[in-house]
Amino acid sequence: MAEAIASSTAQADSSSITLSSGASIQVTADPKLSGDEKVILLHAPDGTNFEPCSTPQGCDVLTAAINRNTITGPITFRLRKTATKQNTSVDYDS
């Protein structure tokens, strides 16, 4: 597992993660998120400025109900963890 966002209670963003076409990663939170805590996907339509995605499915990667999710490329993105009650890390494996 690679650490995308270090364990803390503060809102935090990962650095950029790039997946080539067909490559995928699974993202998890430890410990599980609760309440309205979440991890969202940020993308850079202009290649530079990251912003929350705008898709009909929404931007939520992890929530209290979803603790493991898969992201498939091609895509360059960042993950944003909202503030959490407990120290929470966001990790991924490929």
Q: Which sequence spans correspond to the domains of the chain?
A: 13-85
* 60 band by pLDDT with thresholds 50, 70 and 90: very high
Q: What is the pLDDT of residue 58?
A: 66
Residues of the chain with pLDDT > 90: what percent?
Answer: 74
Q: What is the pLDDT of residue 27?
A: 97
Instruction: Report how far residue 54's alpha carbon sits from residue 41's, in angstroms, rounded to the nearest whole number.
Output: 10
Q: Which two tokens stand for residue 74?
A: 């091609």
Phi, psi of 27 (to 5 degrees): -110, 135
22: left (phi over 0), alpha (psi -120 to 50) or beta: left
Q: What is the pLDDT of residues 15-38, one digit of tens each?
A: 999 999 999 999 999 999 999 999
| Closest by Cα among 73, 93, 90 to 37 | 90
Report whether the peptide linkage leading into residue 52 is cis, meaning its omega lies within 30 degrees of zero: no
